[in-house]
Chain A
Amino acid sequence: MRRLLLEHDQVPGIETYEVYRKQGGYRSVEKALKKMSPEDVLEEVKKSGLRGRGGAGFPTGMKWSFLAKPEGVPRHLLCNADESEPGTFKDRYLMEKIPHLLIEGMITSSYALGANVSYIYIRGEYMWVLDILEKAVAEAYDNGWLGKNILGSGFDLDLYVCPGGGAYICGEETALIESLEGKRGNPRMKPPFPAVAGLWGRPTVVNNVESIAAVVPIVNDGGDEYAKIGVGRSTGTKLISACGNLERPGVYEIEMGITVEEFIYGDDYCRGIAKGKKLKACVPGGSSVPILPHYLVTKTATGEDRLMTYESLAEGGFESGSMLGSGGFIVFDEDQCIVRNTWNFARFYAHESCGQCSPCREGTGWMEKVLNRLEHGQGNMRDIDLLADINKKIEGNTICPLGDAAAWPVAAAIRHFRDEFEWHVNHREEAQKRNYGLISEKTASA
């Protein structure tokens, strides 16, 4: 089991500069600034096959190569530490435990991109993590890793940490940029893409905390070494934040390609379902990805082992697959109610819609209302079809993907657990008193 990011998370004092440096910290900055050109760094990141860890999985090297470089215009690297996708708490762990790893990644990445002023945008609720980061940034300045002419290389970098104010949508990269400009977090129409016109209209790259941290081992050991870990186009390690009804929830660094079975039940990971109960369902990549019923969690529809990779979790498409997403791994035990959870998530999206596009603003509100009705035993059969219909009206008709992110999980829940939705209609009184659990033939565990 190789750990590239959290290798030293248990070393006492690793949050301080001294200890971090003693463990080999800031080597990637030395290597990049003294021995490599920015293009060399980019080349290693491309070779590594690293894909964005914020949820979309877009290749980081490719994203970097799109950055426009007009003469005389400053460019910026923004770290997305907004982490608000339900089920996701990995970035917080990394920043809290090993703040210097993110700062080191920011320096090496900014060098590759030719950015001289970079920002970490962190959700406002993580204010104490902001304090930890600022302390680490100050240490980095004091030791010559930030500021003017770093290591005599001629490269200058200033790094700042900025808080949000509580808004899930600010994790969307253009909303993040708006927020960083001191405005409401309304996503922008694209194009232009941030790579051309981002922060203050300047070329900008937005990357997730974990993506930026991963640049450190990639530069230290080389992209090829990194790409040796994993399966196919899912290379390297991935932080998974596991929660819900697990024996041992928490943040784990996995090698891409271990089986879902091992992750849920293995001694090194979650150690099975809490209180000896049975697995009912799993949302493997944060609240925006489709839910999987237990019989599709550890195996695909064709009976193959499901792996913790982008491809394997998506195997089967919308019919029988899901997504790796942000790595927010949510597990449901046999007592949980899928209708209630679907309603809960719908309420989340209705609350978090920025309100700019009517299909999303109205649609998320309607889904919440209808699901609320169903959950509380006041719905009817038509409501279930109505939900599928609202879905179609939101999908593809909005400025940003939040509308889709709200609609898809509802569709998936109805696809796999329709019987449970119908039971809520047919057993109004009972639905108020108890959860559906694992009672049907279809979802009953062997």
Chain B
Amino acid sequence: MSSTTPVDMSLRHSEKPQFSEEKMAEVQRIIAQFPEGKEKSALIRILHIAEEEFGGWLSIETMDYVAEILEIQPIEVYEVATFYTMFNLDKTGKYVFEVCRTGPCMLVGSDQLIEHIGKKLNIKVGETTADGMFTLKTAECLGACGYGPMLQCGKKYHEHLTPEKVDQLIEAYRSGNTNTES
């Protein structure tokens, strides 16, 4: 079930988040896609933006801030943030590797890939490296089944992976080159 993660009330940002003027304009553009009185429909997309803007995860403050913008109750935001697997309710590493573990990817070696990355980074699934650079997660089918094994990092899909390619990928991210093709 995707809805078991409780909201950990201890996870807070020290300051109240605030969108830049530019981001706020984007948020308003999205809200305007829905009829009057139905602004809540913009919630999921705004949460994606908020997560990206405020450190890669959703703190209580961030969620409360989104509730304020949409003029809804904070609980309506928590409900949604805890249901969908893409939202991080916890701090993560700078780069989150989400490796697809579902059948079609497994048939072409995702189990071995997950094991390899874990060894390489010296972490288990769900953990973050000590330097805060990488978090390793697994994901269910990401719609790249013919191009597996694969992983998602941020907006990017890395497909047709091999241990060598993943090693290169890790090095590339370490050196700040996030535009790597793979």
Q: Say whether chain B's binding surface is mostly helix, strand, loop, or mixed.
A: mixed
Q: Does any Cβ of A come within 8 Å of B85's Cβ?
A: yes
Query: Contacts A124-B86, A182-B40, A344-B106 hold; do A85 and B1 have CB atoms under 8 A apart?
Result: no
A89 touches B143 (CB 8 A): yes
For residue A126, which residues in chain B have a CB less than 8 angstroms away from its CB? 143
Q: Compute how far the CA of A92 lies from the CA of B145 in the bound complex, rounded to whole angstroms.
A: 11
For residue A164, which residues in chain B have a CB less than 8 angstroms away from its CB? 44, 84
Q: Does any Cβ of B come within 8 Å of A348's Cβ?
A: yes
For residue B2, which residues in chain A have a CB less than 8 angstroms away from its CB? 166-167, 351-352, 354
A330 touches B3 (CB 8 A): no
Interface residues of B in 1-15 (CB under 8 A from A): 1-3
B143 touches A84 (CB 8 A): yes
- CB B152 to nearest CB in A, in angstroms, measures 6
For residue A353, which residues in chain B have a CB less than 8 angstroms away from its CB? 1
How does the 8 Å CB contact mask read for A154-171 relative to B, with 1 for contact and 0 for none? Answer: 000010101111111000
For residue A381, which residues in chain B have a CB less than 8 angstroms away from its CB? none
B102 touches A243 (CB 8 A): no
How does the 8 Å CB contact mask read for B46-59 relative to A, with 1 for contact and 0 for none? Answer: 01100000000000
Contact among B41, B48, B157 for A182, CB-based, below 8 A: B41
A163 touches B144 (CB 8 A): no
Contact among A123, A181, A251, A332 for B41, CB-based, below 8 A: A181
Q: Does any Cβ of A come within 8 Å of B17's Cβ?
A: no
Q: Compute how far the CA of A200 lies from the CA of B102 in the bound complex, rounded to whole angstroms.
A: 34
Contact among B85, B139, B148, B157 for A165, CB-based, below 8 A: B85
For residue B126, which residues in chain A have a CB less than 8 angstroms away from its CB? none
Q: Does any Cβ of A come within 8 Å of B45's Cβ?
A: yes
B80 touches A244 (CB 8 A): no
B141 touches A84 (CB 8 A): yes
For residue A91, which residues in chain B have a CB less than 8 angstroms away from its CB? 143
- Size range of the interface on B? 35 or more
- CB A176 to nearest CB in B, in angstroms, measures 12
For residue B139, which residues in chain A have a CB less than 8 angstroms away from its CB? 125, 166
A-B contact count (CB 8 A): 161
A244 touches B104 (CB 8 A): yes
Contact among B83, B87, B103, B145 for A241, CB-based, below 8 A: B145
Q: Does any Cβ of B come within 8 Å of A336's Cβ?
A: yes
Q: Does any Cβ of A come within 8 Å of B33's Cβ?
A: yes
How does the 8 Å CB contact mask read for A106-139 relative to B, with 1 for contact and 0 for none? Answer: 0000000000010000011111100000000000
For residue A341, which residues in chain B have a CB less than 8 angstroms away from its CB? 103, 106-107
Interface residues of A in 333-387 (CB under 8 A from B): 333, 336, 340-341, 344-345, 348, 350-355, 361, 365
B142 touches A87 (CB 8 A): no
Q: Does any Cβ of A come within 8 Å of B79's Cβ?
A: yes
Of chain A, the residue at the smallest CB distance from B2 is: A167
For residue A123, which residues in chain B have a CB less than 8 angstroms away from its CB? 143
Of chain B, the residue at the smallest CB distance from A360 is: B1
For residue B45, which residues in chain A have a CB less than 8 angstroms away from its CB? 162-163
For residue B70, which residues in chain A have a CB less than 8 angstroms away from its CB? 182
Q: Compute how far the CA of A371 lies from the CA of B138 in the bound complex, rounded to whole angstroms.
A: 20
Q: Compute how far the CA of A158 lies from the CA of B48 in the bound complex, rounded to whole angstroms.
A: 23
A89 touches B144 (CB 8 A): yes
B143 touches A125 (CB 8 A): yes
Interface residues of A in 167-222 (CB under 8 A from B): 167-168, 179-185, 200
Q: Does any Cβ of B come within 8 Å of A52's Cβ?
A: no
Q: Does any Cβ of A come within 8 Å of B174's Cβ?
A: no
Of chain A, the residue at the smallest CB distance from B102 is: A86
Q: Does any Cβ of B come within 8 Å of A88's Cβ?
A: yes
A86 touches B103 (CB 8 A): yes
Q: Compute how far the CA of A92 lies from the CA of B147 in the bound complex, rounded to whole angstroms.
A: 13
Of chain A, the residue at the smallest CB distance from B82 is: A184
Q: Does any Cβ of A come within 8 Å of B119's Cβ?
A: no
- CB B62 to nearest CB in A, in angstroms, measures 15
- CB A300 to nearest CB in B, in angstroms, measures 24
Query: Contacts A165-B47, A182-B42 hold; do A86 and B141 have CB atoms under 8 A apart?
Result: yes
Query: Contacts A355-B1, A355-B3 hold; do A332 and B40 have CB atoms under 8 A apart?
Result: no
B140 touches A330 (CB 8 A): no
- CB B122 to nearest CB in A, in angstroms, measures 25
A165 touches B84 (CB 8 A): yes
- CB B38 to nearest CB in A, in angstroms, measures 6
Q: Does any Cβ of A come within 8 Å of B156's Cβ?
A: yes
Query: Contacts A86-B103, A87-B103, A183-B79 hold; do A163 and B44 have CB atoms under 8 A apart?
Result: yes
Q: Does any Cβ of B come within 8 Å of A245's Cβ?
A: yes
Contact among A182, A241, A251, A348 for B102, CB-based, below 8 A: A348
B44 touches A165 (CB 8 A): yes
> Nearest 6 A-B pairs (CB), nearest first?
A165-B84, A166-B86, A182-B43, A249-B146, A182-B40, A166-B85
- New A-B contacts (16) at CB < 8 Å, excluding given A124-B44, A244-B108: A83-B143, A86-B145, A123-B143, A124-B86, A125-B142, A127-B48, A128-B156, A183-B80, A185-B83, A200-B35, A242-B146, A249-B146, A287-B141, A345-B102, A352-B140, A361-B1
Interface residues of A (CB under 8 A from B): 74, 83-89, 91-92, 117, 123-128, 158, 160, 162-168, 179-185, 200, 241-245, 249-251, 287, 328, 330, 332-333, 336, 340-341, 344-345, 348, 350-355, 361, 365
What are 24 A-B pairs with beta-carbon distances under 8 A? Answer: A86-B140, A87-B145, A88-B145, A89-B147, A91-B143, A125-B86, A125-B142, A158-B33, A166-B87, A181-B40, A182-B70, A184-B83, A241-B145, A251-B146, A330-B107, A332-B107, A344-B103, A345-B103, A348-B141, A350-B1, A351-B2, A352-B2, A352-B140, A361-B1
